[in-house]
């Protein structure tokens, strides 16, 4: 069900990109923006993992440096039937973790020093299994493609806004007049990027649910993952992760900018922790 939802939302996002390109420059504009999105996806596919690991000062560790962590990742990777990913540690007290890499053969898992201190063995195992699930399900690639397309739509909207402000763009004859022209401008500048953002967030939340389920099945302990999510959420609400940026918040197992009101939840990259815990509790009952 989550995979189908992702496919539908991704198709909607691609359709929105083509519609915005058409609004901006007809068939030629649609073609140009489609090419731009392909080039951006190509760059993101090859280099996004290196960029994000560098942003957080993540250092790769060996078996000699972190034997327990490496053994845990190795055992879970075998259960998940994926190649052993590279393992990184981020020196920060705030508990969190993320996975990156363009495919399972180039996967990487990064954990903070804070998460290794805050969680017990079973909880950390659940978190690692969740991150390996992202690699197994190729979520890092999906999120890169989605973020790039949404970024292109926002870029087009910004260009349209500035061209209108500076008096460039289509002539009145091309644009039509009156209400039709106003509606077109509002769609292009306001509604399209908002819709792109909401679709992007919907895909991200869907993939988090999928990773929770896959990871819980790999570790065999849904309740340990549920407990880990609650602990990480508590720290996210009470302590800011100084290195975190909104652009990369979707990567983490719990959004480092977690908040409690409905508006924050609407624009969150993750489902609420309460929703995730409830699903994991239901899964635990089913697999007993």
Domain count, the chain: 1
Q: Known binder of ligand: residue 208?
A: yes
Question: Which residues make Cβ contacts (< 8 Å) with residue 139, sequence separation at least 6?
Answer: 99, 133, 207, 210, 211
Buried b (16+ CB within 10 A) or exposed e, 94-114: bbbbbbbbbebeebbbbbbeb
Catalytic site positions: 131
* Confidence at residue 113, expressed as pLDDT on a 0 to 100 scale: 96
SS (H, E, C) 146-168: HHHHHHHHHHHHHHHHHHHHHCC
As a whole number, the mean pLDDT across the chain is 80
Q: Known binder of ligand: residue 134?
A: yes
| Angle subtended by helix axes 192-219 and 2-55, to nearest 10 | 90
Q: Is the pLDDT of residue 131 over 50?
A: yes
By percentage, how much of the chain surpasses pLDDT 70? Answer: 64
pLDDT level of residue 175 (50, 70, 90 thresholds)? very low
Q: Is the pLDDT of residue 190 over 50?
A: yes
Report whether 21 contacts 156 (CB < 8 A): yes
In the numeric block, the tokens 């399209």 are attached to 192
Report whether 119 contacts 139 (CB < 8 A): no
pTM of the model: 0.76
87 forms bridges with which residues in the sheet? 109
Phi and psi, residue 59, nearest 5°: -115, 135
Tens digit of each residue's pLDDT (9 = 90 or more) over 32-80: 766 766 676 677 667 778 888 998 999 999 999 999 999 999 999 999 9
* Confidence at residue 126, expressed as pLDDT on a 0 to 100 scale: 98
pLDDT level of residue 172 (50, 70, 90 thresholds)? very low
Q: Is the pLDDT of residue 230 over 60?
A: yes
**Which of 2-11, 82-91, 149-158 holds the top average pLDDT?**
82-91
Domain hosting residue 134, numbered range: 1-287
In the numeric block, the tokens 């908040």 are attached to 259
* Confidence at residue 273, expressed as pLDDT on a 0 to 100 scale: 93
Tens digit of each residue's pLDDT (9 = 90 or more) over 243-282: 777 767 778 999 887 655 555 555 677 889 999 999 999 9
Report whether 123 contacts 227 (CB < 8 A): yes
- As a whole number of angstroms, the distance between CA 166 and CA 46 comes to 37
In the numeric block, the tokens 């490496």 are attached to 70
């Amino acid at each position: 069900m989550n995979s189908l939802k992702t496919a539908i939302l991704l198709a909607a996002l691609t359709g929105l990109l083509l519609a915005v390109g058409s609004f901006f420059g007809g068939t030629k504009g649609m073609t140009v923006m489609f090419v731009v999105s392909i080039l951006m996806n190509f760059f993101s596919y090859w280099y996004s993992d290196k960029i994000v690991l560098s942003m957080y000062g993540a250092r790769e560790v060996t078996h000699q440096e972190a034997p327990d962590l490496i053994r845990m990742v190795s055992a879970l990777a075998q259960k998940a039937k994926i190649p052993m990913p590279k393992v990184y540690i981020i020196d920060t007290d705030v508990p969190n973790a993320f996975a990156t890499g363009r495919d399972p053969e180039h996967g990487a898992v990064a954990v903070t020093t804070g998460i290794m201190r805050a969680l017990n063995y079973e909880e950390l195992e659940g978190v690692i299994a969740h991150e390996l699930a992202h690699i197994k399900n190729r979520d890092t690639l999906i999120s890169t493609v989605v973020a790039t397309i949404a970024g292109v739509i926002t870029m087009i909207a910004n260009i349209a806004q500035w061209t209108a402000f500076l008096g460039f763009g289509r002539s009145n004859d091309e644009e039509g007049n009156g209400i039709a022209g106003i509606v077109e401008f509002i769609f292009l500048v306001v509604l399209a990027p908002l819709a792109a953002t909401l679709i992007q967030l919907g895909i991200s939340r869907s993939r988090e649910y999928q990773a929770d389920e896959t990871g819980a099945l790999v570790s065999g302990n849904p309740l340990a993952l549920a407990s880990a999510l609650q602990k990480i959420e508590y720290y996210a609400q009470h302590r800011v992760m100084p290195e975190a940026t909104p652009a990369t918040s979707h990567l983490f197992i719990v959004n480092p900018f977690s908040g409690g009101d409905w508006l924050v939840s609407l624009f969150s990259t993750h489902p609420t922790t309460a929703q995730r815990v409830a699903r994991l509790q239901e899964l635990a009952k089913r697999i007993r």
